Structure 1
Amino acid sequence: MTHPPQVPFGFWQTDHMRDAFAMWHMGRVIAAYRAHPYHGRTLPQELVANWLGLTQAQLSRLEKGPAPEYLSKLIRWAQVLGIPADLLWFKLPGTSAATLDNVKRQDFLRAALGVTVTGAAAPLMDLLDTIQPTPVPSTVGATEIEQIRRTAHEFSTWDHVYGGGLVREAVSAQLRYAVSLLNTRCPDHHRAELHSAVGFLGHTAGFMAFDVYAHADARSMFRLAWTCAEEANNWHLRGKVLSSIARQAIWCGNPDDGLTYIELAMVRSDRLTFTERAMLQSARARALAKLHRVEEAMWAIGQADEAFSKASPLNDPPWMSYYDAAQHSGDTGHALFDLAVQGRFATEAKQRLQAAVDGHTDTYVRSRAISGIKLASLAMATGDPQEAAVFGTAALVDAGHIRSRRAADDLRELACLAKQHRDVVEVDELRSRIDTVVAAV
């Protein structure tokens, strides 16, 4: 390439790019640009340096050294790469100039905060070093336990709506504080409740980490939640945590391990609600489908359907409120997907995924997006590209509002399946839109 490629607007909106802009350092911005997933591979320094009128050695020093301050060079490099003016910390020619009052105000704030044009993020982070941690109470009782439960519920709600990437740091900080309460005095009759509440929060944090592919963090947090469930002798929380551990294992390509965790969760399933049994049987079906054990997978789906037909939300613990008819259709539809792309039960899979898309409310945007993407992929794989384009376009609306690596990977799978239908105009348009959304997700 002799010139930089035209990139979609979403290219500049990723967290990695925004972090680079926040440093007011053009070298860091260029480094982030080169490593952007949109390109498919990291662009060589030699190539980008040639675009910018530099040598490879000069670009290397620019990326690693102090922030360049020559405005004429900053402007030229920004124009060459096509960086939107509103993301820059300096004005491009032709953009409206800042008023004198605004300039003076910005100078005053920079002086007061110790922030210079060579880097805003570091001094601002330094200001947080003086913040005192929240004091741990001498005794933990019903009030503190309820606060942990409410915190876990609120973060879980955010996770369903926006994906795991948005507030993961916040929930991790809350989890550290909650765990510290386990070492505080607590009346014996509240001790099991405290462990259950901390386990609920630990599971919420773990699932957020899983959603953004921080898999080591997710495993640690799930283990913490599992330990809390065992300490509290809480079979309901234990089942939920083991279900999520299984889902992560299946997602990471270890369906046999996932099946083991599900079997462990099903021990004394008579102590679980029918909703929980449906959830576990759906996960079992997904693992069995990945293992190509077709008859057993279909039997598990039948067991899940039977259990869900007896479900009563009034009997379920608070963390199971998400598992409604739409979620059940989506989970069993996902299990059938792996069989459907091989020519088995495609109609049934499509009906269940469609029911999930239709049934999910805005409270569960991520689930609706993922089921919609799977529905589009199924249509694409089974030879109906026009219908797939309709499903995919609708799913992209939801996907554009969340930060989920799982959703992004499902979109990449859809784009890959779309390559076999290059001659369909609607499919080409869909692939272009997928590239834009994936860059932002």
Structure 2
Amino acid sequence: MSEPPHSKELPVRLLTDPVMIEACRARDFGRIFRLVKARAGIYPSMIARRCDLTPSRVGEVISGRRQLLHMDVIERISDGLRIPGHMLGLARRSWETPRNLTVTPREPSEQPVSVDVQLAEGLPGADVDSILALAAERHLSPSMLDALHSSITDYWRRDDEHGGEILRPAVVGQLRYVVGLLGGERPAPMRNGLHGIAAELARLTGWTYFDARQFNQARAYFTESLGLARAIDDRQFMANVLACMSLQATYEDKPGDALALVAAAQDQTRAAVETTPRVLAMLAMREAFAHATLRNHGATHTAISEAHTHFGRISTGDPDPAWVVYFDEPKLIVDTGIAHGRLGEAALAEPLIADALRREHQANHRGRAFHAFWLARTQLQRGKLDEACHTAMDALVPAAAVSSQRVAGHLREFYEQLEPFRQEPAAVEFESRLREILPGQVSGSPRP
């Protein structure tokens, strides 16, 4: 007797397990199927029936010899195994809505899926995934690499504007797609291009986890990115990834690790065929952050000076990699201010951060919020309570527009630093505004 449809739901403890959550986010169906088998007792043949797949196809996925990329297949897996849509980057599935809230469609419903599946199974030919894989093999070209690079640029833009949380499923899906393309025999330029794109996608994924303060996941993707860049000996990009990991270490309050990682990044640039002054300036500033976290004033000032010296050597014709173009003059200035701020040198930090903030692009919500909270912090350190609260209130709108736990963390730090001034009118006004715009960031009742 065949298994009744969906007779065995996935256990809640499996759906809430971080390993399962991460596998779903990455759309790693081999791992998902293995977890479902081990933790829910749903064997490959049962998975195949529930998801309208062939047993051989499920076996190939579990063994890592096949990837599932087509959205129709992903939706069938979500529905067949009762994995909530959001876990796989899908819209809410119809079965997730309670029956008493289900709206009867105005138009006649389509024929049950099972009828279409039965018809499809009766037809000869390859399955959809095989067709897509064949299409990718035959049409992979330099223009496709350009399109992938363009999508990465767009991801970063949207990350600045909205945060990376909602982008992550798409980025991870594209990462796994590109990694899947690395398996075949390709000319060296094409292979190197795919490795470079995969490295960028892995770094972007790591960055979205870092910005969400999910540091273990971030480190895993940064490490994957490092390996992909190493495979093509891209020393500059390896330095870039190590610099990201160094910055994360400062947030984890591991300044020794931060300094070691940025030193390793600088070693990579020395081994590179060519490294541009802009890359060196960015790395010197990350070194300044690490020293500042260690409260090493002399070394911080030396690193800041080196960053400005390298930046002064930038020329129009430099072959800067696309990933470092963000490090422009306003970024140099604001990072200089933040490094001084980390040392407690508020008088030096405030004018620098204020100048850079005036030049910040309006669409960069996270940058504007992040830097505004740093400015408010330095103003508060200088005893400028009214200015600090006004600056922080200006930061609330961009902070609300972007999903960033890093920004939220800086907001909470500033709010805690206001504790001695809670009864002051400026602090009361800021708290009232904060509760209005970002109510989830403050617990308890408003102060009288």
TM-score, length of structure 1 as denominator length: 0.67
Unaligned 5+ runs, structure 1: 1-88, 91-102, 115-130
Q: 3-state SS of the aligned residue for 1:329?
A: helix
CA distance in structure 2 between the aligned counterparts of 1:224 and 1:158, rounded to whole angstroms: 23
| Residue in 1 that maps onto 2:407 | 407
2:418 and 2:170 map into 1 onto residues whose CA distance is: 38
Inter-partner Cα distance in structure 1 for 2:259 and 2:363:
29
Taking the aligned partners of 2:163 and 2:422, their CA distance within structure 1 comes to 31
One-letter code aligned to 1:143: S
Which residue number in structure 2 is paired with residue 24 of structure 1? Answer: none
Report the alpha carbon displacement of residue 141 of structure 1 after superposing the two structures with TM. 3.4
> For residues 332 and 113 of structure 1, what CA distance do their matches in structure 2 show?
61
Q: Distance in 2 between matches of 1:154 and 1:346?
A: 35
CA distance 1:132–1:222, change in 2 (3 Å): farther
Q: Could you say if the C-alpha distance between residues 397 and 177 of structure 1 is closer, same or farther in structure 2, counting changes exceeding 3 Å?
A: same
The one of the two structures with greater contact order (alpha-carbon pairs below 8 A, sep at least 6) is: 1
Mapping of 1:2-41 within 5 angstroms?
Answer: none
- Match status 1:135 vs 2:132: yes
Q: Is the 8 A contact 2:236 2:268 kept in 1?
A: no
How far the C-alpha of 1:321 sits from its partner, in A, is 2.0
Match of 1:276 among 275, 279, 288: 279
2:337 maps to 1:337: no
Change (3 A) 1:405 1:216: same
* Partner of residue 416, structure 2: 416
Q: Do the aligned partners of residues 308 and 110 (structure 1) sit closer, same or farther apart at CA in structure 2, a change above 3 Å counting?
A: farther
Q: Report SS of the residue matched to 2:267.
A: coil
Single out whichever of 408-417 and 189-198 deviates more from structure 2.
189-198
- Distance (whole Å) between structure 2 residues aligned to residue 416 and residue 364 of structure 1: 26
User: 2:178 — aligned with what?
Assistant: 178
Q: Secondary structure at the match of 1:386?
A: helix
Cα deviation code 1:6-29 (max 9, x no counterpart):
xxxxxxxxxxxxxxxxxxxxxxxx
Find the residue that maps to 2:213 and give its secondary structure: coil
Contact kept, 8 Å, 1:418 with 1:431, in 2: the verdict is no
RMSD: 2.8
In 2: Cα distance, 1:285 partner to 1:437 partner: 34
Aligned counterpart for 2:314 among listed residues 307, 311, 315: 311
Match of residue 122 from structure 1: none
Deviation at 1:414, TM superposition (A): 0.7
Alignment partners' CA distance in 2, 1:226 and 1:313:
29
Q: Over residues 226-282 of structure 1, what are the superposed CA-to-partner deviations in whole Å (9 max), with x where a residue is unaligned?
A: 112111222221121111111111111111111111001111535321111111111
Q: CA deviation at 1:435?
A: 4.0
* Alpha-carbon contact 2:239-2:268 (below 8 Å) kept: no
1: distance between equivalents of 2:437 and 2:316?
Answer: 35
Aligned-residue offset at 1:421: 1.3
Structure 1 residues 294-309: aligned runs within 5 Å: 294-309=297-312
Q: Aligned pair 1:211/2:216, yes or no?
A: no
Aligned residues of 2:238 and 2:268 also touching (Cα < 8 A): no
1:381 deviates by 2.7
CA contact (8 A) 2:346 2:381 kept: no
Instruction: Structure 2 unaligned segments of length 5 or more: list them.
Output: 1-96, 112-126, 442-448
Separation of aligned partners in 2, 1:436 and 1:260: 43
Counterparts of 2:107 and 2:296 in 1: how far apart (Å)? 63
SS of 1:106 mapped into structure 2: coil
> In 1, distance between residues paired with 2:388 and 2:359?
19
Range 275-284 or range 264-273, more displaced? 264-273
1:346-403 C-alpha deviation (Å, 9 max, x unpaired): 2211122112211111242211210111110121233110110121111112112111
Over 3 Å counting, the alpha-carbon distance change for 1:438 and 1:241 in structure 2 is farther
Shift of 1:201: 1.6
1:193–1:232 CA contact under 8 A, matched in 2: no
Q: How far does residue 437 in structure 1 lie from its aligned partner after superposition?
A: 4.3
Residues of 2 paired with 1:110 and 1:215: CA distance?
48
Q: 2: CA distance between counterparts of 1:299 and 1:104? A: 64
Match of 2:104 in 1: 107
Could you list the per-position Cα deviations for residues 134-173 of structure 1 after superposition, in whole angstroms to 9, with x for gaps in the alignment?
9332254323322321221111111111112231121111
How high is the sequence identity, in percent, across the aligned residues?
25
The residue number in structure 1 matching 2:191 is 191
Q: Tell me the residue number matched to 1:286.
A: 289
Change (3 A) 1:272 1:393: same
Distance 1:250 1:263 in 2: 14
The change in CA–CA distance for 1:200 and 1:109 in structure 2 (over 3 A counts) is farther
Asked whether the 8 Å contact 1:160–1:364 carries over to 2, the reply is yes
Q: 2:151 and 2:317 mapped to 1: Cα distance? A: 21
Match of 2:74 in 1: none
* Structure 1 residue 210: Cα displacement: 1.0
Distance in 2 between residues matched to 1:243 and 1:425, nearest whole Å: 42
